[in-house]
């Protein structure tokens, strides 16, 4: 196992919206502060879960600044700054650094499907222009390109590339990265349901969606694993597994924002092209929440 100095339970924060779908910055700051108090030692703003493709640059930077001000300095605040345009990614990274980010999450460019060499050069360009720690984000299910372990290991040799959020769903790939990287490079699960398996092969934690609802349980699961209480960690994994899966019953972050509404945390709606879940999906989300005791209402509220 590799215990990371960058924390182990990082929540990929949703972006709350008001009724007119403008960003509710006060709600974002309050939610971040609450989750930090429940055991999240990292907050990621403007990731996919934060509906980053529909946020303006100004909105991303203000969310970052508001969250950074709201949470304790010991809680690391990461900013999602990478897209499919390298030049814009470099520029936004620089602005995020000035706005107070403690690190950046840089996703593989999507839609234009770069080669492995193109991926390396993209991230190297960002690395060359910032002093911030960089967490790579490999999520081929969304970007249509898988950053291979060889490329991740090559990037891990860059001084400020310190971690990867691995969401390929391939445990062998995570194992290869852990086996081949330097000791000061860390692998985080990008899928809540694979957190414990990735810890078992030498990973360091999770960038989580489910932490919005069960941060304390996730914190306990990771801590139990690190302390050698493996059966307790396994029991928590089993307890939470249905929640992990239902939060991806449709496109993230639709289920988690729906679940937050059902449990009494108002985070507003969705910016198109995202839209509310179907009634059947709402009912399944509500059923799992009831089963975990997170809400006593078996029927989703409209």
Q: Is 165 a catalytic residue?
A: yes
pLDDT value at residue 260: 98
- Domain of 139, CATH number, reads 3.20.20.70
**pLDDT tens-digit readout, 122-172:** 999 999 999 999 999 999 999 999 999 999 999 999 999 999 999 999 999
Query: Which one from 165, 186, 257, 282 is the annotated catalytic residue?
Result: 165
Is pLDDT of 299 > 60? Answer: no
Cα angle, residue 257 at apex, residues 209 and 236 outer, rounded to 5°: 40
pLDDT value at residue 73: 96
Q: Determine, yes or no, domain membership for 292.
A: no
Q: Determine, yes or no, domain membership for 275.
A: no
Cβ–Cβ < 8 Å for 285, 258: yes
Is pLDDT of 301 > 70? Answer: no
**pLDDT tens-digit readout, 91-125:** 999 999 999 999 999 999 999 999 999 999 999 99
| Distance between CA atoms of residues 75 and 88, nearest Å | 27
Q: Determine, yes or no, domain membership for 162.
A: yes
Q: Determine, yes or no, domain membership for 269.
A: no
Cβ–Cβ < 8 Å for 7, 76: yes
Cβ–Cβ < 8 Å for 10, 78: yes
Region for 229 from its dihedrals, namely left if φ exceeds 0, alpha if ψ lies in -120 to 50, beta otherwise: beta
Is pLDDT of 8 > 50? Answer: yes
Q: Determine, yes or no, domain membership for 239.
A: no
Quote the domain boundaries for residue 117: 9-228
For helices 211-226 and 230-246, angle between their N-to-C axes, nearest 10 degrees: 160
pLDDT value at residue 1: 63
167 - beta bridge partners? Answer: none
| Distance between CA atoms of residues 23 and 21, nearest Å | 6
pLDDT value at residue 295: 86
Instruction: Give the number of domains in the chain.
Output: 1
Q: Determine, yes or no, domain membership for 195.
A: yes
Q: Determine, yes or no, domain membership for 300.
A: no
| Distance between CA atoms of residues 168 and 142, nearest Å | 10
Q: Determine, yes or no, domain membership for 189.
A: yes
Query: Which one from 120, 137, 257, 282 is the annotated catalytic residue?
Result: 137
Average pLDDT over residues 2-10: 93
Q: Is 137 a catalytic residue?
A: yes
**pLDDT tens-digit readout, 44-80:** 999 999 999 999 999 999 999 999 999 999 999 999 9
């Amino acid at each position: 196992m590799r215990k990371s100095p960058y924390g182990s339970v990082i929540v990929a924060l949703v972006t709350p919206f008001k009724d007119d779908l403008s960003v509710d910055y006060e709600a974002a700051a309050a939610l971040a502060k609450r989750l930090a108090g429940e055991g999240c030692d990292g907050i990621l703003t403007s990731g996919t879960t934060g509906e980053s493709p529909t946020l303006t640059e100004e909105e991303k930077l203000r969310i970052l600044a508001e969250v950074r001000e709201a949470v304790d300095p010991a809680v690391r605040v990461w900013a999602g700054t990478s897209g499919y345009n390298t030049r814009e990614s470099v520029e936004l990274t620089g602005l995020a650094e000035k706005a107070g980010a403690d690190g950046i999450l840089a996703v593989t460019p999507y839609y234009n499907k770069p080669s492995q060499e193109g991926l390396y050069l993209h991230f190297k360009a960002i690395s060359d222009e910032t002093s911030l720690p960089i967490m790579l984000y490999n999520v081929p299910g969304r970007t249509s390109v898988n950053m291979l372990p060889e490329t991740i290991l090559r990037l891990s040799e860059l001084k400020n590339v310190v971690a990867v959020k691995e969401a390929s769903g391939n445990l062998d790939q995570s194992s290869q990265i852990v086996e081949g990287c330097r000791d000061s490079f860390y692998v985080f699960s990008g899928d809540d349901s694979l957190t414990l398996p990735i810890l078992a092969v030498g990973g360091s934690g999770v960038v989580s969606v489910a932490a919005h609802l069960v941060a304390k349980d996730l914190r306990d699961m990771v801590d139990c694993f690190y302390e050698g209480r493996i059966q307790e960690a396994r029991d928590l994994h089993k307890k939470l597994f249905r929640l992990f899966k239902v939060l991806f019953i449709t496109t993230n972050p639709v289920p988690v924002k729906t679940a937050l509404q059902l449990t009494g945390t108002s985070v507003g709606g969705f910016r198109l092209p995202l839209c509310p879940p179907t009634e059947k999906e709402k009912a399944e989300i509500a059923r799992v929440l009831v089963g975990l005791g997170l809400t006593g209402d078996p029927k989703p509220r409209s």
